[in-house]
């Protein structure tokens, strides 16, 4: 019995050197903040015809993770030792939803609440959300689609923002991407507000 226990313990010790439970966590987690916000205590009653659903954006493969992407020519890499708190799509969707509600006054339900189905549906693809390596700027590109219940018409528009950054460090890149994301979100909100 003692021998079996010693063998099991020895095996566990040997395996612990071979098995990795994942890579080291990043030193810092970064996020985005909406510049246009709905004030606390704001109450409203909204009709489905005025509410807007904002879908989670589709993402290209290089953005389907929590790393901060760096594009140099046709290749992609990631900033070391830093990551987003969520995927770029989820972070951008939060900024977009808050900005639309703040700028248009329209109700934007949480995308996880399937019981609310507004007549206006915004979807799209976050084509770019990255540092342009060696160019001193970040790029955010969003291909938006807007559909309305009862209509067979779908509107599409590409929104893009390039923002200069002072360096290629995590803080500078994150600040630049936050500014670019807010710029794109404000333009999308204006587009929706025209309809």
* pLDDT tens string 115-163: 677 889 999 999 999 999 999 999 999 999 999 988 889 999 999 999 9
pLDDT interval class at 28 (50, 70, 90): confident
The torsion angles phi and psi of 145, rounded to 5 degrees, stand at: -130, 140
Q: Are 26 and 81 in contact (CB under 8 A)?
A: yes
The DSSP secondary-structure symbol of 62 reads G
State the average pLDDT over residues 171-177. Answer: 97
Q: What value does the CA radius of gyration of the chain take, rounded to a whole number of Å?
A: 22
Residue 38 pLDDT > 60, yes or no? yes
Q: Are 145 and 138 in contact (CB under 8 A)?
A: no
Among 11-20, 31-40, 159-168, the minimum mean pLDDT is found in 11-20
* Domains identified in the chain and CATH numbers: 27-194 (3.40.50.10610)
Residue 11, C-beta contacts closer than 8 angstroms, at least 6 positions apart: none
13-25: per-residue pLDDT in tens? 444 444 444 567 7
Q: Are 195 and 151 in contact (CB under 8 A)?
A: no
Look at residue 183 and give its three-state secondary structure. helix
54-104: per-residue pLDDT in tens? 999 999 999 999 999 999 999 999 999 999 999 999 999 999 999 999 999
Neighbours of 142 (CB within 10 A): 23
Q: How far apart are CA 118 and CA 145, in angstroms?
A: 15
The DSSP secondary-structure symbol of 12 reads H
């Amino acid at each position: 019995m003692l021998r079996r226990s010693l063998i099991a313990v020895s095996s566990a010790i040997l395996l612990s050197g071979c098995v990795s439970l994942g890579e080291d966590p990043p030193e810092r987690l970064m996020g985005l903040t909406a510049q246009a916000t709905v004030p606390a205590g704001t109450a409203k009653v909204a009709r489905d015809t005025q509410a807007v659903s904002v879908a989670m954006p589709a993402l290209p493969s290089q953005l389907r993770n929590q790393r901060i992407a760096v594009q140099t020519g046709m290749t992609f890499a990631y900033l070391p030792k830093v990551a987003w708190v969520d995927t770029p799509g989820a972070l951008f969707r939060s900024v977009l939803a808050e900005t639309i509600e703040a700028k248009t006054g329209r109700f934007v339900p949480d995308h996880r609440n399937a019981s609310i189905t507004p007549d206006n549906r915004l979807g799209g693809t976050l084509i770019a959300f990255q540092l342009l390596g060696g160019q001193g700027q970040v790029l955010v590109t969003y291909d938006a689609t807007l559909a309305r219940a009862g209509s067979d018409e779908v509107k599409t528009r590409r929104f893009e923002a390039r923002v200069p950054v002072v360096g290629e460090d995590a803080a500078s890149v994150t600040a630049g991407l936050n500014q670019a994301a807010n710029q794109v979100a404000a333009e999308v909100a204006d587009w929706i507000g025209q309809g």
